Amino acid sequence: MHNNYYYLQQVSSALAPILIGRTVDSAFSQDKDELVVSFLSKTDLFFIRAILKNSFVCLTFPSEFHRARKNTVELFSKLTGRTVEKIIQYQNDRSFAIQLDSGLLLLFKLHGNRSNVLLYQDNKVIELFQNNIEADLSLSPESLHRDISPTFEDFIQNKQNPATVYPTLGKPVAAYLKQEKFPNKSAQEQWTILQQFIYNLENPSSFYVVRSPAHLSTGNSSFQLTLFPTGNTEFESSDPLEIANRFYSLYARESTFDREKQQVLHKLDKQKKQTESYLAKTYEKLNQIQTEARHEQLANILMANIHQIPSGSEAVELFDFYHNQTIRIKLKKEFSAQKNAETYYRKAKNEKIEIEILEKAITQKELEMAQIKKYMADISAIQNLKVLRNYVKDHDLASASTIPTIQELFKRFEYQGFEILVGKNAKNNDLLTREYAWKEDLWLHAKDVTGSHVIIKYQSGKKFPEPVIEKAAQLAAYYSKRKNDTLCPVTVTPRKYIRKPKGLPEGAVIIDKEQVVLVEPADFSGL
């Protein structure tokens, strides 16, 4: 009811003794949907803050307001220095006006998503706060007055519907009357109750901020400002201006909480869907490899028939003793039968490695999925902004706000004019190799141990100098588990020979072709 006629009637009555005789100090905005007007007396300033968003409209009356130095604009300049003469409440309408000298009138029209603040001079609109509401340019203030004086006969003719005969009541009142079993009363009893209720609305002894559970299903705020006690009372006051400030404070806090909570849940839900997709694809890949993996069988068939295979053959038909049928096996004609079998054995070994990697990746992702679900359950149960922020911070769930540079992402060195990039961890290694390395770049890694991926960036038309390769290899050795060894073997290969099949864990790759150099581990300062 914070924009209800009966409440605004009390607001305008409370404003009259405060504003009459004051002069307007300034009117400004530092938010496209928010207007602040300050009124000066000999001793202090009084503020009216109008929040006119499409989704939320509210007036507050802060005791002080610290204006920003930037991103603020002066509005309604003709008001400055003008003296308040009168407060006008429009009968049965959610509007009131501040009348000033020089024929000026500042109208506050609180009509939901058509709310606006209008400045008149001699009954003509000269400025709008919300310029997109063009109909307000021709709005006459006097047209806002509405005479509503229903009789008992009107009530009967309108099927005893309070909202029809008193459209100023609003939904909270209708809900309250229903809760009080109003529909079960006789027509005469209903009319008597309704007249008493209207009197109470026009002469409230207190104002209330109440909490309702309705927002859980509707998405609306759980706080409401009412002129009668209902639900769980959070705050009560006899001052309509104080209750507005308290209501907005609670609303804003809850709005911030809901927004931040939904942001975190949305991020987690996105991660959950990505993880589900990853698991589905990885399970499919694993099933495919396990179903089609025959390289070891083909190698065994070749070895069993090694003396029957003509040299220089591109293919051979042999009996498959695994499936009791003749099959065709592709060969490399430049290889001997034994060499071809060795090739198939190597592929079989890679298949086993890939299966093992996929199984480990699935286990890891399923653990991640369980953790994501736990986060979502925990956050869904949180009902306090401070608790939410602490949880997000403690579990590092806040999203990054800036895009890091290459220098921030990786360790970066330069030697003899060549750029050398070094990964910081497994995830960072993937980022370096997959997104920041081109196929012509040189890729290095300490052999057979965990460590950083190292990239030497390719320069067009230039070969990689041996001293540069050696220095990069020393870095790869230094940023690995062989850091303290006297000598370390390091894999060196063009990036194009590095593969990352789906399902491999972070930092893991498959190397199709490599050379190995032996170097002494050293950091860049020691090179």
148-202 pLDDT, tens digit each: 888 999 889 988 888 888 888 877 777 778 777 888 889 998 899 889 888 988 9
User: What pLDDT, on a 0 to 100 scale, did the predictor assign at position 482?
Assistant: 94
User: What pLDDT, on a 0 to 100 scale, did the predictor assign at position 220?
Assistant: 55
- Give CA–CA dist 288/290, Å, rounded: 6
What is the amino acid identity at position 24? V
Eight-class DSSP state of 83? B
User: What pLDDT, on a 0 to 100 scale, did the predictor assign at position 468?
Assistant: 96
Task: Determine the topology of domain 5-144 in CATH.
Answer: ibrinogen binding protein from staphylococcus aureus fold (2.30.310)
- Give CA–CA dist 196/159, Å, rounded: 19
456, 418 in Cβ contact below 8 A?
yes
- Give CA–CA dist 268/379, Å, rounded: 10
Instruction: Dig out the tokens for 6 from the structure.
Output: 């009966």
Burial of 98 (0-12, 13-18, 19+ CB in 10 A): buried
Question: 3-state DSSP call for residue 63?
Answer: coil
125, 140 in Cβ contact below 8 A?
no
Question: 3-state DSSP call for residue 141?
Answer: helix
- Give CA–CA dist 525/513, Å, rounded: 31
- Between β-strands 510-511 and 232-237, what pairing exists: parallel, antiparallel or unpaired? unpaired
> Which option is the CATH number for 262-394: 1.10.287, 3.30.720, 3.30.1330, 2.60.40?
1.10.287
User: What pLDDT, on a 0 to 100 scale, did the predictor assign at position 401?
Assistant: 36
User: Strand locations in 457-514, DSSP E?
Assistant: 488-494, 498-499, 510-511
Q: Where in the chain are all domains bearing CATH 2.30.310.10?
A: 5-144
Q: Which residues of the chain have pLDDT under 50?
A: 214-219, 400-404, 527
Instruction: Dig out the tokens for 372 from the structure.
Output: 């994501």
- Give CA–CA dist 109/98, Å, rounded: 12
Eight-class DSSP state of 451? B
Q: Where in the chain are all domains bearing CATH 1.10.287?
A: 262-394
Q: Where are the alpha helices (DSSP H) in 115-235?
A: 152-157, 162-165, 171-179, 187-202, 215-218
521, 478 in Cβ contact below 8 A?
yes
Q: Would you give the distance in Å from CA 61 to the centre of its chain?
A: 31
Burial of 283 (0-12, 13-18, 19+ CB in 10 A): middle
Instruction: Dig out the tokens for 353 from the structure.
Output: 């490695």
User: What pLDDT, on a 0 to 100 scale, did the predictor assign at position 218?
Assistant: 37
**DSSP string for residues in 338-396:** HHHHHHHHHHHHHHHHHHHHHHHHHHHHHHHHHHHHHHHHHHHH---HHHHHHHHHHTT
Instruction: Dig out the tokens for 347 from the structure.
Output: 């592929």
User: What pLDDT, on a 0 to 100 scale, did the predictor assign at position 400?
Assistant: 43
How many residues make up the chain in this entry? 527
1, 227 in Cβ contact below 8 A?
yes
- Residues whose CB is less than 8 angstroms from the CB of residue 133 and which lie 6 or more positions away in sequence, other chains included: 114, 116
- pTM for the whole thing? 0.55
455, 433 in Cβ contact below 8 A?
yes
